Amino acid sequence: MQQNFGGRPPSPRSLLLTEVAQATRRLADAGVPSPRHDAEELAAFVHGVRRGELHTVKDADFDARYWEVVARREAREPLQHITGRAYFRYLELQVGPGVFVPRPETESVVGWAIDAVRAMDVVEPCIVDLCTGSGAIALAMAQEVPRSRVYAVELSEEALVWARKNMEGSRVELRHGDARTAFPDLDGQVDLVISNPPYIPLTEWEHVAPEARDHDPEMALFSGEDGLDLIRGLERTAHRLLRPGGIVVVEHADTQGGQVPWIFAEERGWADAADHPDLNNRPRFATARKALP
């Protein structure tokens, strides 16, 4: 016999899911780019569950502190500063004031670099991450490239505090210093140099999203009038560190795809300079190979 479900009242939604829907609307009105995702992440954070487990939170357990964190996100405080954690490839990193929050765009830069190192077929590849911030790139390389020797450098003392926490127990060697003069002891020995340096032109300040402008450290964002000051310096560092045939990978802004590969010019000792898009098909990183003698 066929049952008629037509007249059955809809199953009641849990209090939490109703609150998440309301928070989503508030975040959307505040201009948060991914309001549903962030409303769910905040609910999961407050209730100590994963996002996929929100339906398991009972009405009686609804925690009113949810509205406090929603208000902070509504004021455009970064989600990752509120939860204290950022996800990057297979890592969960600790982040907060004083350190740049790793971005999803950088995950595809690292993916390319991992493939490039694997293709080198070197037994113990030597990898250097310049401008490491939270340590996201260096830690991902160490985790995903077996037997790699990974070095990282960071100039900001505040960022270093976070990098040290994240690197505890890892095999990344972290140093405090300027990427332009770092690792003289590794000159000519490195297989791959990777960097996500500051690259926003100073002239773009007013167009930067509030989360970045008001919460990421200035030193992590800006680099001279055209944004390329540090990348020009890193070109010399990479050339000094790499062995002939070694590879450099540098992230840049989506407006700089026509400029950055030219910094790695043949007459400066580079070959195969190229630019690559991210997953949204926007220009995102340049790569080049140190020319053979």
Ligand X SMILES: C[S@@+](CC[C@H](N)C(=O)[O-])C[C@H]1O[C@@H](n2cnc3c(N)ncnc32)[C@H](O)[C@@H]1O
Please say which residue, 88 or 270, places its beta carbon nearer to ligand X: 88
Shortest distance, CB of residue 194 to ligand X, whole angstroms?
9
- Shortest CB 223 distance to ligand X, Å: 7
Which helix (H) or strand (E) is 17 found in, with range? helix 15-29
Provide the b/e sequence for 210-243 (b: ≥16 CB within 10 Å).
ebbbebbbebbbbbbebbbbbbebbbebbbbbbe
The residue among 70 and 221 lying less far from ligand X, judged by its C-beta, is 221
CB of 205 to ligand X, least distance (A): 15
CB neighbours of residue 128 within 10 Å: 30
Q: How far is Cα 116 from Cα 131, in angstroms, rounded to an integer?
A: 20
Give the separation between CA 66 and CA 84, rounded to whole angstroms: 15
CB of 69 to ligand X, least distance (A): 23
User: Measured on CA atoms in the order 18, 28, 50, 62, is the torsion positive or negative?
Assistant: negative
Binding site for ligand X (CB under 6 A): 100, 102, 106, 131-134, 136-137, 153-156, 159, 178-180, 196-198, 217, 219-220, 230
Which C-beta is closer to ligand X: that of 66 or that of 162?
Answer: 162
- Shorter beta-carbon distance to ligand X: residue 180 or 243: 180
Q: What ranges in 30-103 are assigned the alpha helix state H? A: 35-47, 65-74, 79-83
**Shortest distance in whole angstroms from residue 193 CB to ligand X:** 13
Q: Is 24 or 134 the residue whose CB approaches ligand X more closely?
A: 134
> Is 261 assigned a ligand-binding role in the annotation?
no
Q: How far apart (Å, rounded) are the C-alpha atoms in residues 245 and 261?
A: 17
| Nearest position to ligand X, beta carbon | 133
CA–CA separation, 160 vs 145, rounded Å? Answer: 23
Closer of 24 and 166 to ligand X (Cβ):
166
Q: List the alpha helices (DSSP H) in 48-198.
A: 65-74, 79-83, 104-120, 136-144, 157-167
**Is 196 annotated as ligand-binding?**
yes
Q: Tell whether residue 10 is among the known ligand binding residues.
A: no
Q: What is the nearest approach in angstroms of ligand X to the Cβ of residue 277?
A: 18
Angstrom CA distances, 209 to 56, 167, 213, 216, stand at 34, 29, 6, 10
Q: Which amino acid is at 127?
A: I
Annotated binding site for S-adenosyl-L-methionine: 154, 196
Annotated binding site for substrate: 196-199
